[in-house]
Structure 1
Amino acid sequence: MKKIMFNDKYSLTQAVLDGRKTMTRRIIKCPRTFRGEWVAGFNIHIRHSDKKIVDWPCMYDADEREFDMGEILPKYELGEVVAIAQSYMDVDRFYRKGKNAAYLEYLDSILPELKLYPGWTNKMFVRADLMPHHIRITDIKIERLQNISDEDCFKEGIFKWDAGQKDIPFYSFHNADIPDYNDPRDAFAELIDKVSGKGTWESNPYVFVYEFELVD
């Protein structure tokens, strides 16, 4: 089983667990080499039918010739169940709070060992099979980052509030430097720069867009 990480500083993991975040965008990264040859970039192929369908990116060489089998595939597949990464310490707290006797017995048996590993406080190093929560991938698409719709901004965890002015809605995300944005896309642009690095929104990269549902 694979795992997926969401940012904790801006409460995105909790937003997933609360069902408020049901979508995530991951930047498509092109490898430097493919089968020993230098990769210059990738193309996005679009075919038209009843609706526009975007295929996976295909890498090309310095002469702009596309590689056979040179697709950049998404990390997660449609229908795949993926573990939500949390630190072992957070997992331990979750089960003790819920008093899950069976899992507590299992955790207690391996706890001394887990505390010796970086995964106790850093979820980057945890095992997927020890995670208590999972999502199922329900849709995958490719688009430019700035093509996000208002609806998708809300699926990404942006929320609306009135700030005491019911006729003037504002938009924001948890722990934002500015609590009130006039547009959900402005709020998301700031969030993605916080999560993926300053300038991410402006660079407008291609992204894999994963929509998902919380399983447990």
Structure 2
Amino acid sequence: MKKIMFNDKFGLTQSVLDGRKTMTRRICKYDRPDESWDIVFPVFESKDYDSEGNLISPLYGAFGWKNKEGDFTGWNNPLYKVGEVVAIAQSYKDSGYDPDSLDRHPKDLSIRGLMKDSSGWNNKMFVKSYACKHHIKITNVKIERLQDISDEDCLKEGIVKQEVISDESPFLYAYDAFLDGDNKYFASRWFRSPKEAFAVLIDKVSGKGTWESNPFVFAYEFVLFD
């Protein structure tokens, strides 16, 4: 089983577990030969659908590059497929494991063999997918430019809409960013639109300049599975 990571510093993992975040955008890793090449998408035939009309082609959500002469570089496929159940990466500590219990995962055994001494106790990168306690199920995949995100999708990405007293607008938007002293998430900044809030958030999560560079992204929609 695959696992997926969400940013903890900005509260995105918790947002998924709370059911507020139901989409995630991941930058497409591609090597465009040069500016003369255009992005292309697969054309599906009847064999690419099941008896109920559902698209089942392995190229669902894929894209490729082709130049004016028809030369083709191959397909770039999304990492996750529709219907796939994916583990949400969390450290053993955040997953609620007993710190003094024996580490039951041989590939992550410490010298003492206790959960609290495991490399995955505080670092979710070392936790295997089968040890994760929560999962999402992918319900849709699409590819688009990052700046083409809709206001509706911004809210699905975890942007929070809250009504505030304002002479300029009946509401502003906020995103979860930091923990307060009681380990509760709070809105650190306010914005006039969900897209403005998402633009700042994606730059913090994926690196400064990400929004401005407007890369192609795989947009995964999902539901909390357990």
Q: TM-score, normalised by structure 2?
A: 0.75
Query: Are positions 1:110 and 2:103 aligned together?
Result: yes
Q: Which shifted more, 119-128 or 162-171?
A: 162-171
Match for residue 176 of structure 2 among 161, 174, 177: 174
- Deviating above 6 A after TM superposition, structure 1's stretches of 4 or more consecutive aligned residues are none
Letter in 1 for 2:177: N
Shift of 1:183: 0.6
Residue 22 to residue 55, structure 1, CA distance change in 2 (3 Å): closer
Aligned to 2:63: 57
1:111-190 matched pairs, under 5 angstroms: 112-165=113-166, 168-175=170-177, 179-190=189-200
Structure 2, unaligned stretches of length 5 or more?
45-59, 105-112, 179-186
Q: What is the number of equivalent residue pairs in this alignment?
A: 191
Shift of 1:113: 4.4
Query: Are positions 1:44 and 2:34 aligned together?
Result: no
**Inter-partner Cα distance in structure 2 for 1:113 and 1:196:** 34
Shift of 1:165: 3.9
The answer on whether the counterparts of 2:137 and 2:222 sit within 8 Å (CA) in structure 1 is yes
**Inter-partner Cα distance in structure 1 for 2:206 and 2:40:** 22
**Inter-partner Cα distance in structure 2 for 1:64 and 1:190:** 38
**CA offset digits 1:5-62 (Å, max 9, x no partner):** 0000110000000000000000000259xxxxxx5577233769xxxxx85221469x
Residue 178 to residue 42, structure 1, CA distance change in 2 (3 Å): farther
Shift of 1:154: 0.3
Shift of 1:128: 0.4
Residue 123 to residue 95, structure 1, CA distance change in 2 (3 Å): closer
* 1:189 counterpart SS class: helix
* 2:139 counterpart SS class: strand
Match for residue 86 of structure 1 among 90, 97, 102: 90
More helix by share: 1
Aligned to 1:212: 222
Query: Are positions 1:28 and 2:32 aligned together?
Result: no
**Inter-partner Cα distance in structure 1 for 2:40 and 2:66:** 11
RMSD: 2.9
Structure 1, unaligned stretches of length 5 or more?
33-38, 49-53, 97-103
The answer on whether the counterparts of 1:5 and 1:85 sit within 8 Å (CA) in structure 2 is yes
* 1:138 counterpart SS class: strand
The answer on whether the counterparts of 2:42 and 2:63 sit within 8 Å (CA) in structure 1 is no
Q: Which shifted more, 164-173 or 3-12?
A: 164-173
Shift of 1:109: 2.8
* 1:119 counterpart SS class: coil
* 2:21 counterpart SS class: coil
Q: TM-score, normalised by structure 1?
A: 0.78
Query: Are positions 1:71 and 2:75 aligned together?
Result: yes
